[in-house]
Amino acid sequence: MTCFPLRCLALALALGSGSGSSGPGGPGLEQIAPARATASAPRVCTSLASSGIGLLRLAASHERSEAESRAIKPLLRLAGRAPLREGWWIDGWYYRNYSHQNSLLEGVVRVQREHHGRLNLASLRASSILGQGLLLGPDGRELTAADLPGLPCSSATVGDLIDVQWVRRRVVRFRLHQGTYPYAAASSFRTLCDLLVFNYPELLDRHSDPGHLVERSSGTDRWSLRCLDGVVALARTTATRQVQDLGIVQSISHAQQVARQATGRRRVHFAPHPLLSPVLPLWGSADLYSKRRLRTLVAKTSSRRAQAEQAARALRASELSPAFAAALESIDWAEVFNLPDSSSRQRLLFLKIKGLRLSGWDLSNGRRGCPHCADSGAAGGSTLHIVWDCPSARHLWAKVRSWWAALGLWPGATPAADQDFLSAVFSLRLPCTPPRVWAVASLSQSQATDETPEGPFPILQATWRQLVLETFVVIIGWRHSRYDPARAWSDAQAAAVHATSCQRVLATLARRRADDAHVPPAHVRLLSELQATFQRDSPDEIPLAPPAAADVHVLFFDGGSRGNPGPGGAGACVVRVDGQDGTAALVWSAAMSKAHRSTTNNQAEYHGLLAGLRAAAAHQWPNLEVVGDSAMILRQMRDYRPPRNAKLLRLYTQARRLADQLAVRHWTHHVRAHNKMADLLANLAMDTRTSSQVTHPTARSGHADLRAHLSNDLSPWLVDSVDRRAGLHVLR
């Protein structure tokens, strides 16, 4: 199937949420989430038509041609007029034999498959009976409620009103969904049954269980879905008729991943299904999503519903704080998606803040509220309280404000200054250039302004944006740490994590600007001076980790080759994080030379991982977690995906065996800037072409200098581990 247009994807996510006011296709049609990343819609759609997707599907895909209308018209005159030998009642079921209309029905099927492809029966069951041209009535026009007196079909779907079961070729049986005989509307019921078959004769050709999940890839297994209490479970029936329950699935891709793990096959591909797919076509034509009508409908509907939801969200934000609402409104969604110098974690969190989608559930107390404030009540779960009004958040924002107050911004604690500071935080924009910024870098205003027309404001704006985004990240991490009292951060620990995190992002920003030839040297010097001014009170030691039940050992690995392939080297080191006081210390490091000219980067990375795993196995270090900067190798190890290359496969097999033996708890990816210790060890091996392995503390050259980078490498892991231990992955 061809790819969705981008707007269709955004609309599909929004329609899957099933929230909003009623529309012509059911509740939720007139509202839409404005962006893909902010639409936290559930992936399980238990009532497809009620979310308005039936309207989109039918209006976009079912456009009857003249040939199809001509083929169906002779059949429509026969609706509800079957003689006794062709239609009969048994135990509440209406049996209907369509053998006498065989030639006419085959003509309709031939025309429909030529124009639309094969019919998706699951989509037909989830579609509304009336409207959007789903059914043509006996007179050849669109079916209305007046054609079916006595039946509650004005807002019902086909699956909600009628049970349809295939009996044998050209024979099907129908029953009201409630299982009762339609005493008052038997004639209307027979007419509706005939209209369903005459409009869609493929109902006669095959039996389709509503829970059946069609596998498009080759396979002998049968897959089925069961919906229980709003969740969908996947089951597998093997060729030997053994049934296996594979657990809860949330989407088609998730079901395919679970099926691959259960069967051991590299490829399992399922067709869309109403329980798992936000948008499901009525017809299976390959060019469905490239039709002009679909593109037009998606554009109009998405724009209309985006405006409605934006107005509702602005109203909720203004009820919390007018200044808060105005600040969020001033920054556009597209601007958030393209925030320069920001990480995906920072962008995702700010998108949740802008969409008022932060989870306010307090896991420690089992209610909506704030874990920092016992008396906050349900108001403690609002987005504004979580990131601004909470005393813990206020503590961190006071530190950020003190840094900029030294430069002349927001002096004093006046209400006007407080409002300006709030607006600057949630709009991610500085109001102006700080008055005393020139004295910090020993620059004259004319000197800095002459180099670029806008002066140093872009550098100051980038610095402010990074400080605000990283403060949001630490606030959420502090909140999650409170869910387990044994691992909760103290005020001092949170302040240390905040200072270290801000120092890290500002150092990365300064490094990027120094490498940019378009940034004037005076502005780079200004940024470095600002970094030193802001972080003058940062701790020399790394922040204390939240206390754990036992010591945690963190393995850092890296590798590389000069030339790829070429002479290479690998490095690995292990850090022990004490479970009582949270202090961290290097315990082991190694630099391995792989000087053969055929060494590749990936081979060197695997050698570094293997060295660390072998050392962990030899020393019996418990609670091992692995950190590296190779996303490919971490993905292969975490997801049990062996590489195809024969040399890498041998290394993967050895590493996989050791990792399973050591029961590695987690595989974490860090960018190269936060994997300095292993990177220095790998470069040491490539420079000296010798291998070395030491235990710490040590005075050996090349190994003793690693302590200076311990805080830089370990701080991101400390922040990530808080969310992981709390069982939350909202920022990952």
Look at residue 288 and tell me whether its pLDDT is greater than 70: no
Let me know if 474 is exposed, middle or buried by CB neighbors in 10 A (0-12, 13-18, 19+). Answer: buried
What's the predicted TM-score (pTM) here? Answer: 0.46
How many CB atoms sit inside 10 A of residue 5's CB? Answer: 15
524 compared with 54, residue with greater pLDDT: 524
pLDDT at residue 281, rounded to an integer = 67
The answer to whether residues 265 and 257 touch, using CB atoms and an 8 Å cutoff, is no
Cis peptide before 697 (omega within 30 of 0): yes
Q: What is the pLDDT of residue 362?
A: 79
pLDDT in tens, 268-280: 888 777 777 665 6
Higher pLDDT, 598 or 153: 598
Q: Which comes out higher in pLDDT, residue 536 or 268? A: 268
Which pLDDT belongs to residue 508?
A: 81
- Residue 42 pLDDT class (50, 70, 90 cuts): very low
Number of separate helices (H) and strands (E) present in the chain: 25, 18
Specify the amino acid at residue 606.
Y
Average pLDDT, integer, range 64-72: 82
Tens-digit pLDDT profile for residues 500-531: 888 888 888 888 887 777 777 777 777 777 77
What is the average pLDDT across 125-147? 79
> In the predicted model, what is the mean pLDDT of residues 263-290?
68
226 bridge partner residues: 233
User: How would residue 48 be classed by pLDDT, with cut points 50, 70 and 90?
Assistant: very low
For residue 207, what pLDDT is reported?
54
Alpha-carbon span 299 to 40, nearest angstrom:
21
**Average pLDDT value for the chain:** 77
Tens of pLDDT, residue by residue over 370-388, are 888 876 676 778 889 999 9
For the chain, what percentages of helix, strand and coil (3-state, to nearest 5) are there? 50, 15, 40
Check pLDDT > 80 for residue 653.
Answer: yes
- Note the pLDDT of residue 376: 66
Q: Which position has the higher pLDDT, 658 or 440? A: 658
pLDDT, position 262: 87
- In 3D space, the residue among 622, 655, 627 whose CA is nearest the CA of residue 641 turns out to be 655
The pLDDT assigned to 537 comes to: 53
Write down all domains in the chain, each with its CATH number in brackets: 1-204+286-320 (no CATH), 215-263 (no CATH), 321-534 (no CATH), 552-714 (3.30.420.10)
pLDDT of residue 694: 94
**How much is the pLDDT for 663?**
86
> pLDDT for 709-718, tens place per residue?
888 888 888 7
Looking at mean pLDDT, say which of 11-15, 86-90, 291-295, 622-626 comes out highest.
622-626
pLDDT of residue 549: 52
* Residues 591 and 702: beta-carbon distance below 8 Å: yes
* pLDDT higher at 609 or 450: 609
Which band of pLDDT confidence, cut at 50, 70 and 90, is reported for residue 487?
low
Q: Which one is predicted more confidently, 589 or 175?
A: 589
